[in-house]
Amino acid sequence: MEIDWLKKRALISPKKIAVIDPATDSKWTYVDLNQRAEKLAVYLQKQGVRPGDRLALTAKNDISHFDLLFAASKIGAIFVPLNWRLSLMELNDILSDCAPTMLFYDETLNLDEESVYLEDRVLLQDIHQAGYTDIFTAEADTHCRPTYAQADEPALMIYTSGTTGKPKGTLLSYSGIIHNALFTVANWGLTAEDSTVTIGPMFHSAGLFCFTIPLLLIGGTVILQPTYVAELTVENIVKYRPTRIFMVPTMYYDLWQREMINHDELSSVKQFISGGAPASQKVEKAFEEKGLYIQNSYGLTEIGPNNFVKSMQTTKKKPTSEGKPFMFVKVRLMGSDGTEVQPGEVGELQIAGEHGFMGYWNNTEATIESFADGYVRTGDLAYRDDDGDYFIVDRKKDMIITGGENVFPSEVENIIQAHPEVQDICVVPFPNDRWGESVAAAVSLKHPERADSEELIADLTEYALRFLTKYKIPKFYYFTGNFKMKLAS
């Protein structure tokens, strides 16, 4: 398998616009995209980057994600996009784990605070400074000496929380990325005439692989939006008339709450995908009333964001279903006795295919536990009906999904447990129309009389924010023993 498919796409569609940045009104053709990757590859080789080295990026959605992904593929390096929302402690843990040769970053990384943790062990490059821009304007000595990896070697590493709460580096091969794109193109009928606004963060599998990479592979157009803002989202859809959109339920909810669901403005989009969790049924109904339809998409970082397909008729008739498995994707539901369950019965959803992940970085035990006879164990419970449509029932794991972001109770418990006022703590999800789920904590205090103190809530929240990003902080506290429930601000 030829892994440098961008080079071939640049030959087939040289003048076609591949990527647009509305913020700067910049446009890049497929030739431009490939030339940027080649020049960056030369620069990386001069910096001593070797096959297998990790190249990390912490930034909002930006052309640099494509620069690094495609440049890495030309020299056999591994691209590691990082969550720019992470706290210093969380980022530091991940950098210690993957040990990148270089870290590229934007303004979301506060070097005044964080450089002491970074500069001694990783080469830093600001993507918005002249030094980065100069890489692509260089004329001399720009010939890339390709050092291509094998198709089954790692191309990309995306960090995802594990059952212990410690992030795990999910390794995706060149073959896996290409097959995910091919499966999506074939099953969802993408063409070179399609386009998308990439709104979901590109440090997530869905942001990169729901529509973005499949459309680039087929010769479509990607409009980059740094992050979700309701007004900007609608403005970009109106201006660029994309045909495919991926957002998490929180974004759909926000558009609905702001009364921004307008058929004329959004009618260019023939496929709205909701990932991370199903969209609220009231939001789906509001879209349907405007002649627009949201489809659920099911996936994991380990098996890609797109695994099921359903017709518009099924979308209307069974809005909560995932539909039927993609062609070339194998799906089974396994009972606790290790045998496949019958239609209507609930079992663990397991998925296999050429698009699956390789394993976890430096974590053989977790890798072994994630597979069963070649199938990826999703940990989610589902059933299929007599028509062969699949429905997700619940998560076997304890993970909380809030606004499309994963939170494991143990990681929150481990932090707040160390607070001097806390005797014990149990973190659980509770339903939230906007976020899908929010984080709640039942707390046993060393001094129960403090349960009535508003200062305690503020103190617990401030303490947790020293170690955890904001969406992982409990929104409700229930203090056991005196039955007091407090809302965190």
What phi and psi values does residue 408 have, to the nearest 5 degrees? -100, 130
Under 8 Å CB-to-CB from 124, ≥6 apart: which residues? 102, 103, 104, 105, 111, 115, 118
Nearest to 209 by CA among 473, 200, 106, 346: 200
Both tokens assigned to 10: 């640049």
Question: Per CATH, is 400-487 categorized as 3.30.300.30?
Answer: yes
pLDDT digits (tens, 9 = 90+) for 306-361: 999 999 899 888 988 999 999 999 999 999 899 999 999 999 999 999 999 999 99
pLDDT digits (tens, 9 = 90+) for 348-370: 999 999 999 999 999 999 999 99
Where along the chain do the CATH 3.40.50.12780 domains lie? Answer: 5-296
Range 398-413 burial, b when 16+ CB lie within 10 A, else e:
ebbbbbbbbbbbbbbb
Range 11-48 burial, b when 16+ CB lie within 10 A, else e:
eebeeebbbbbbeeeeebbbbbbbbbbbbbbbbbbeee
Q: Report, as an integer, the average pLDDT of 106-134.
A: 81
Specify the pTM: 0.86
First vs last C-alpha separation in the chain: 53
pLDDT of residue 169: 97
Both tokens assigned to 64: 């640099």
Residue 119 has pLDDT above 90, yes or no: no
Where along the chain do the CATH 3.30.300.30 domains lie? Answer: 400-487
Q: Residue 449 — pLDDT band, cuts 50, 70, 90?
A: confident
Q: Please state, as a whole number, how many other Cβ atoms lie within 10 Å of the Cβ of residue 191.
A: 11
Q: Residue 441 and residue 478: Cα distance in Å, rounded?
A: 6
Q: Report, as an integer, the average pLDDT of 214-233.
A: 98
Q: Answer yes or no: are the C-beta atoms of 467 and 87 closer than 8 Å.
A: yes
pLDDT of residue 489: 56
The fold for domain 5-296 equals Rossmann fold (3.40.50)
Q: Return the minimum-mean-pLDDT range out of 2-11, 141-150, 297-306.
A: 141-150
Q: Answer yes or no: are the C-beta atoms of 382 and 333 closer than 8 Å.
A: yes
Q: Residue 257 and residue 230: Cα distance in Å, rounded?
A: 10
Q: Residue 49 and residue 46: Cα distance in Å, rounded?
A: 7
pLDDT of residue 411: 81
The conformational region for residue 188 under phi > 0 = left, psi -120 to 50 = alpha, else beta, is alpha
